[in-house]
Amino acid sequence: MKRLTREVTLLLTLVTAAGSLTAQVPTVSAGDVAVADRTKAEQLRTGMRKLWTDHVIWTRQYIVSAVADDPSAAEAAKRLMKNQEEIGEAIVPYYGKEAGAKLADLLKQHITIAVDLVAGAKAKDDAKVKDADQRWHSNARDLATFLSGANPNWKMDDLGNMLNEHLALTTKEATYRLEKDWEDDVATFDKILEQALHMADTLADGILKQFPNK
């Protein structure tokens, strides 16, 4: 009888242990992504979307203020520069501080040139606009080169097309604002925001593919 009791006790112990181990295994989705990993992925995507939303919102705020000769343009530009630092910091956990600083520097150049472009367009200085536009596209190539070199999931041509679309839409936004074409101005910003979210998702997805366990 004692032997039977010991065997039952041992069986119950094993069943309890097995249940405990099962409880420790992360729940897996249909795509074989653990809940913890899926949460990190969502945090990365959400964070990247926030940063690029800020990017286009503060760019718009600068354009609106600069075109109207509003003194708040300086503060908008300052906040916009901070956003580029924040985007750079977002990649530090994956690529290191040097890469983060490099991305922030390239993005700050992107903003500085945009300021020159708006100033040239406002002054109707075609030579200044042309020079700024050339530098802007050169900077976009530098960004695409840097990013594609850091992550094989970010293809050079795809990044180039994406960044050039961003430039084209922002140029239209500034032009419509200067021309006081409010309807197209607003419609263009809708497109800018949608495209920025696409860029954010592309960058986040590339990181998740390259670092699935980080």
User: What is residue 117's predicted lDDT score, i.e. its pLDDT?
Assistant: 96
Residue-wise pLDDT for 7-37, tens only, equals 444 444 434 444 443 333 333 333 334 444 7
What is the share, in percent, of the chain residues with pLDDT greater than 90?
Answer: 79
Mean pLDDT, to the nearest integer, of 196-205?
Answer: 97
Residue-wise pLDDT for 62-108, tens only, equals 999 999 999 999 999 999 999 999 999 999 999 999 999 999 999 99
DSSP 90-152: HTHHHH-HHHHHHHHHHHHHHHHHHHHHHHHHHTT-HHHHHHHHHHHHHHHHHHHHHHHHH-T
Whole-angstrom distance, CA of residue 171 vs CA of residue 175? 6
Categorize the per-residue pLDDT at 213 as very low, low, confident or very high, splitting at 50, 70 and 90: confident
User: What is residue 38's predicted lDDT score, i.e. its pLDDT?
Assistant: 80
Residue-wise pLDDT for 127-179, tens only, equals 999 999 999 999 999 999 999 999 999 999 999 999 999 999 999 999 999 99
User: What is residue 39's predicted lDDT score, i.e. its pLDDT?
Assistant: 87
